[in-house]
Structure formats: structure tokens, C-alpha cells
């Protein structure tokens, strides 16, 4: 399946134009396109390059949300966890979570047991139609001895035991988001990355929005497109986009900064869900032979484009982790990467930690007379499909009102049993599919082949087809343990997946950049291929290398003495 930045058909009218290509925007695009809605999605950078990439790599129900009595949100999340897991089985798997209970823990055993029992009840259909490799068991109590057997590295002082429960791990969220992109484009949507919206136009002097103006950052050319309905799905930039229409945005976004640490492996095969005496919690998640730690949750008042992690952000997580791993303390030299993102929360005035993760949809036509404009804010990765579906339920009445002829070409479709691009059938077994693939004579090492299947699903054959024509494309980018990307993926990213920058290729089409800066040698090697295929001159290639490296907070990584916060 080929994704192209097709800017040649912008003269046609669209039923729907979506501003923003994060997981919210591409979910709306998928929901719209499969229904026959003529859809355009424009993203100012790359698909899923910001908040959608800086996640804990989980599809989860949100056990912590039960503390706020958000039962409906947890139920919706658990239902959607199952749907996403069965729609893209190659990119998800059940993950065990261990929650230690100490003498001082708050909540204690009885309160947490009540919460987990509720969690299990709300996930009553979690294994409906699930193959064996997607079955998520219920929660249970582990004795002190059983807990330490599963995770011997944890602080055993005053440990009473703990609970085990299950959610899903999203192995590569960037690739999962791109499966939405591919599904939308295959259904007829026009998906454009690196196209920044610069303004809007009204229809014949009315209050009905009709035109979206944007600049293609690849060519520098300016474009316009007309749409009957416009959806503002720009996440942390929502109010800034509204500012292009209104002098003062009618809706505020409460921005929360969240960082993670990717480190050397610190724990075993289960996620540790810990909370200290002050009530701060974090997850220590096994991921690709490393440990993913986080997230933080602090208010952010700056411009979303200026986001950068700080030493205090990093030190806070180091201090928290080291309260629970005294025998294997985390130090700066064990950190490989510091992913950072902004959660766009529904404005509530509460602390960002306590603020709800629900989403809200604003119909500006009904609220302020701005016909044809709908905004969405909030939400979480796990509920992205449902969010997209709910947005379409707001789009359809507006579309029928502003263009009655649209009704004749729109289909009634449900996507809660539809696979995403790269997976053969909803509810298929990824394990069985892999076993069939492994039996074929691909003449590729199993670890590389399994890596390609995980990232691309059934489209792994398209990547290998490139290597059949040029055997040098089978060479791995890096000999580092756990890194299995090959040169063919670089070519595939550019020719088939609309990659236009080094970051597009290394951070979101391949896996290597999501684990941290891959090093100068790998970066130059990939830049050479990009320069040849994208026709970069030497100055452009050097600038791409410089910009790519500068995006990593390397100043926070390295052998420095860990400070203890007073």
C-alpha cells in the first residue's frame, strides 16, 4: 500500500478537511474515508510526530482514572483496548503489570483490590473473539514471595506482596498511527504531511468556513483547498489554530508536559506500577530490551513548538525510580533517550494530574455561528478510534445541512470489527501468522524478519521485494543488540510512506530513532540514501543531519553524577 503526498487534486471540493495528523486527526480521517466522505487531512509536520509518539506505548483502560470515579471512561478505554489490539495484532500484545503493596502504601491492599475487581468487571468482554496471543487474564494477589520471584530487583523492605493485572502494550505507536493513515488513504482520503495551515476563508462573506490555506514546507509552495466541514484536530495547537479564525480563541487547552526515560534494562518482563509515599506514580515498562519509565505530568504554559525536557524533569524520574530499585539505581549514564510530549487536556482548572483524560467535541456552528467548524480536544491513544467515530457523528449533521447532496454517497459503516492496514483480518492470530511466515524461505535472519513483520504486518513482503532487486538493502543499519532495521526500510519509507525528512524515516517509519539518537554513522548512512532519493544537495543534507541530531536532548544523557533533590 503506497502513501503519496498528492497535491494535484486540491481543486476538487472536499466534504471534510482535517487540520492535524496526530492520532486524533488520522483516526477521524479513517472513519470519514471508509464511509465515502471525501476527506483531506493536513499535518504541519509529520504524522504522529508529537504527542502521539511520546507515549508510554500502552493500550490501557486507565486503572488510575477509577480514583476520579470515571467509570464510563475506563469502560470505553477497555472496550477500545480490545478493538485496537484485534485490529492490529502485529503491533500489540498483552502485558503483565505488577503493583507492589508496602506497609505504608496508599491506597492499600483492600482499596486496590476493590479497584482491580472493578477494572476486571468493566473489562468483562476483554477476551471476546481474541486469539490465544491476545487473551488478557484477570487480576490476582501475589504473596510477598511470589511478587519477589517475578521481580527480585524491587525494594523488599516492608513489602507485603502485590497485585498482577494485564493491559496491552503498543509496540510502536508511530507505526500504529501510520496504519490508520494507510487505511484512510486506501479508502480514498488525501493525507498530506509537512503542510502547515496558515489561514481560513469564509464563503461569500458569510460565517461559514469554506477554505483552508496552507504552505507545503517541502516545496515552499502555498495551496488552498475547499471543504464543507473543517475539523480542528490539532491537539496541543487547538487554540492556536482557532486563533487563525477568531481574534480570541473560544476554547482553551490545558497543556500537560509529559516526559519518559528510555534506559538500559532495569527490570524483568513485567511492568512495575509504583507509587511513592508522596503519591507520585510512574511505570517501569519493559520495551525492546530496554526500560521505558514515566510519564511525568506537569503544567506547561509555553508554546507547543518550544517543548524541551529539563534536568529537573529527568532528575525527578530518577529519584522516584531509585526509591524502588535500591540494588540497581538509575543514573544518567544508563539513559538512552528522553521522549517528551504535551497532553492536550479539556480545560478544567484542576491540576493536570487530576484532570480528566476524556475528550470533548465542540460544534462552533451551534456555539458561535462559525458554520462548518468542529474542534476536538482531549482523549487518549487507546480511545482514538472511538473519538474518530464520535467526531464523524458530529460531522454528518453539519455536512448534510451544508451540502444535502452528500447524503447519497455516504455509507453506514462501523469500524469496531475492521482490521487496520497491514493486518489480514480482525481478530486474527499474530502468532499463527508469524509462524507461517517463519516457515517460508525468505533467506532473512529470523530476528530481522520478525522485526519487519512487527512493524509492517503483511506488508513486510513489500519491503523485502526491494531487497530482492538490491541485496545491499538487506544490511542492518546498526549492529547494536536489539536493532534490526535494514536499509530496505529507508527506501520503502521514502518511496511508499511519504517520508520527507531524516526524522520521518528514522523516528517514525523505522524503529531505531524511537530508542534514542542512533549515532553519527547511522545518521549519515541514512542521510546519504535520503539525499539520493529526495534529491537533496549537500547543504540540504547537512542541514537535515543537524536538525535531526538537535531534536534529541543529548545534554541530558551521559555520565554525570545523579543529584538528590532536597
Rounded to the nearest 5°, which phi and psi values hold at 313? -55, -50
The CATH class, in words, for 14-51+174-253+357-402 is: alpha beta
Quick one: CA dihedral 237, 240, 246, 250, positive or negative? positive
Q: How far is CA 209 from the centre of its chain?
A: 30
Site of grid cell 520471584: 149
Give per-residue burial for 439-465: e unless 16+ CB within 10 Å, then b: eeebebeeebbbbbbbbbbbbbebbbe
In whole angstroms, what is the distance from residue 341 CA to residue 189 CA?
27
Contact 159, 498 (CB under 8 A): no
Instruction: Evaluate whether 422 touches 88 at the Cβ level (below 8 Å).
Output: yes
To which residue does cell 511520546 refer?
54
Calculate the CA 105 to chain-centre distance: 32
Q: What is the four-CA torsion angle of 23, 395, 248, 10, rounded to 10 degrees?
A: 70
The set of cell numbers assigned to 345 is 487536556
In this prediction, residue 357 carries a pLDDT of 54
Tell me the backbone φ, ψ of residue 454, rounded to 5 degrees. Answer: -60, -45
pLDDT at 564: 43
Instruction: Looking at 348-501, list the stretches that DSSP marks H as alpha helix, in order from N- to C-terminal side.
Output: 364-368, 384-402, 430-439, 446-456, 460-469, 487-496
The predicted structure's pLDDT at residue 350:
52
φ, ψ dihedrals at 163, nearest 5°: -110, 155
Cβ(299)–Cβ(287) below 8 Å: no
**Confidence at residue 249, expressed as pLDDT on a 0 to 100 scale:** 67
149-153 — which CB contacts under 8 Å span 24+ positions? Answer: 150/98, 150/268, 150/270, 151/98, 151/267, 151/268, 151/270, 151/272, 152/268, 153/266, 153/267, 153/268, 153/325, 153/327, 153/328
Helix, strand, or coil (residue 196): strand
Looking at residue 17, the DSSP 8-state letter turns out to be: E
pLDDT, position 447 = 95
Cell of 247: 481574534
Q: What's the average pLDDT block by block, 10 residues per block, for the chain (566 residues)?
A: 82 96 97 98 96 95 91 96 98 98 96 97 98 98 98 97 98 97 97 97 90 96 97 94 83 89 97 94 96 94 93 95 93 95 73 58 89 92 96 95 92 96 98 95 91 97 94 95 96 97 98 97 98 98 98 87 43
| pLDDT attached to residue 239 | 92
Superfamily, domain 440-551 = Alpha-glycerophosphate oxidase, cap domain (1.10.8.870)
The residue ranges of every structural domain in the chain are 14-51+174-253+357-402, 71-170+255-342, 440-551
Distance CA 284, CA 274 (A): 8
- Joined grid coordinates for residue 544: 537535515
DSSP annotation of 292 reads E
Distance CA 356, CA 348 (A): 8
Q: Burial of 524 by CB count in 10 Å (0-12 exposed, 13-18 middle, 19+ buried)?
A: exposed
Q: Tell me the three cell numbers of residue 398.
A: 453539519
d(CA 381, CA 129): 22
Q: CA dist 211 to 15, 18, 373, 399, Å? A: 12, 12, 11, 15
* Same CATH fold assignment for domains 14-51+174-253+357-402 and 440-551: no
**What pLDDT score does 560 carry?**
62
CA-based end-to-end distance of the chain: 55
| Amino acid 281: pLDDT | 92
- Reading the block at residue 446, the C-alpha cell is 529470523
pLDDT of residue 252: 79
Dihedral, 16, 21, 23, 25 alpha carbons, nearest 10: -20
* SS3 call for 243: coil
Kindly list the distances between the CA atom of residue 467 and the CA atoms of 100, 443, 471, 511, 526, in Å, as whole numbers in the listed order: 48, 11, 5, 18, 16
* Assigned CATH topology for domain 71-170+255-342: D-Amino Acid Oxidase; Chain A, domain 2 (3.30.9)
Collapsed DSSP state (helix, strand, coil) of residue 20: coil
- Phi, psi (rounded to 5 degrees) for 142: -115, 135
CA trace torsion 543, 544, 545, 547 (10° rounding): 80
Q: Residues 473, 491: contact at Cβ < 8 Å?
A: yes
CA–CA distance, 477 with 426 (Å, rounded to integer): 33
Cell of 353: 494530574
**Could you tell me how far CA 437 lies from the centroid of its own chain?**
27
Amino acid at each position: 500500500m503506497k502513501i503519496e503526498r498528492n497535491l494535484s487534486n486540491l481543486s476538487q471540493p472536499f466534504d471534510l478537511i482535517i487540520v492535524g495528523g496526530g492520532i486524533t486527526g488520522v483516526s477521524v480521517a479513517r472513519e470519514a474515508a471508509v464511509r465515502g466522505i471525501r476527506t483531506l487531512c493536513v499535518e504541519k509536520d509529520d504524522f504522529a510526530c508529537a504527542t502521539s509518539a511520546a507515549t508510554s506505548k500502552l493500550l490501557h483502560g486507565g486503572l488510575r482514572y477509577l480514583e476520579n470515579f470515571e467509570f464510563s471512561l475506563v469502560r470505553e478505554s477497555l472496550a477500545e483496548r480490545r478493538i485496537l489490539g484485534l485490529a492490529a495484532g502485529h503491533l500489540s500484545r498483552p502485558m503483565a503489570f505488577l503493583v507492589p503493596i508496602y506497609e505504608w502504601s496508599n491506597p492499600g491492599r483492600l482499596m486496590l483490590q476493590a479497584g482491580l475487581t472493578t477494572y476486571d468487571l468493566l473489562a468483562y468482554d476483554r477476551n471476546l473473539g481474541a486469539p490465544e496471543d491476545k487473551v488478557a487474564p484477570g487480576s490476582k494477589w501475589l504473596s510477598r514471595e511470589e511478587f519477589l520471584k517475578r521481580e527480585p530487583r524491587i525494594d523488599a523492605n516492608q513489602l507485603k506482596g502485590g497485585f498482577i493485572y494485564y493491559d496491552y502494550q503498543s509496540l510502536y505507536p508511530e507505526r500504529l498511527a501510520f496504519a490508520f493513515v494507510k487505511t484512510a488513504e486506501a479508502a480514498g482520503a488525501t493525507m498530506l504531511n509537512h503542510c502547515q495551515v496558515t489561514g481560513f476563508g469564509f464563503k461569500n462573506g458569510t460565517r461559514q468556513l469554506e477554505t483552508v490555506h496552507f504552505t507545503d514546507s517541502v516545496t515552499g509552495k502555498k495551496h488552498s483547498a475547499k471543504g464543507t466541514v473543517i475539523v480542528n484536530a490539532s491537539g496541543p495547537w487547538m487554540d492556536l489554530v482557532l486563533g487563525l479564525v477568531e481574534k480570541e480563541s473560544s476554547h482553551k487547552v490545558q497543556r500537560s508536559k509529559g516526559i519518559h526515560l528510555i534506559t538500559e534494562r532495569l527490570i524483568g518482563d513485567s511492568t512495575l506500577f509504583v507509587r511513592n509515599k508522596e503519591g507520585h506514580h510512574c511505570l517501569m515498562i519493559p520495551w525492546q530490551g530496554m526500560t521505558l519509565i514515566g510519564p511525568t505530568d506537569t503544567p506547561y504554559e509555553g508554546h507547543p513548538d518550544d517543548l524541551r525536557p529539563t534536568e529537573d524533569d529527568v532528575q525527578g524520574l530518577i529519584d522516584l525510580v531509585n526509591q524502588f530499585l535500591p540494588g540497581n539505581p538509575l543514573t544518567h549514564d544508563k539513559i538512552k533517550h528522553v521522549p517528551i510530549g504535551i497532553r492536550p487536556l479539556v480545560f478544567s482548572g484542576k491540576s493536570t494530574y487530576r484532570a480528566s483524560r476524556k475528550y470533548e467535541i465542540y460544534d462552533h456552528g451551534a456555539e458561535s455561528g462559525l458554520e462548518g467548524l468542529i474542534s476536538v480536544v482531549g482523549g487518549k491513544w487507546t480511545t482514538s478510534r472511538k473519538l474518530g467515530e464520535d467526531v464523524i457523528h458530529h460531522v454528518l449533521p453539519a455536512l448534510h445541512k451544508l451540502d444535502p447532496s452528500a447524503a447519497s454517497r455516504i455509507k453506514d459503516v462501523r469500524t469496531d470489527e475492521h482490521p487496520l492496514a497491514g493486518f489480514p483480518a480482525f481478530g486474527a492470530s499474530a502468532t499463527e501468522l508469524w509462524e507461517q511466515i517463519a516457515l517460508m524461505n525468505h533467506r532473512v535472519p529470523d530476528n530481522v524478519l520478525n522485526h519487519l513483520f512487527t512493524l509492517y504486518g503483511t506488508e513486510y513482503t513489500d519491503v523485502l521485494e526491494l531487497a530482492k532487486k538490491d541485496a545491499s538493502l538487506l544490511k542492518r543499519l546498526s549492529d547494536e543488540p536489539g536493532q534490526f532495521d535494514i536499509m530496505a526500510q529507508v527506501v520503502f519509507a521514502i518511496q511508499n510512506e511519504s517520508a520527507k525528512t531524516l526524522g520521518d524515516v528514522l523516528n517514525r517509519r523505522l524503529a531505531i530513532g524511537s530508542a534514542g539518537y542512533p549515532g553519527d554513522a547511522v545518521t549519515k548512512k541514512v542521510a546519504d540514501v535520503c539525499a539520493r532519493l529526495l534529491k537533496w544537495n549537500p547543504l540540504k543534507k547537512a542541514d537535515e543531519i543537524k536538525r535531526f541530531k538537535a531534536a534529541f536532548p543529548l545534554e541530558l544523557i551521559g555520565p554525570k553524577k545523579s543529584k538528590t533533590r532536597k
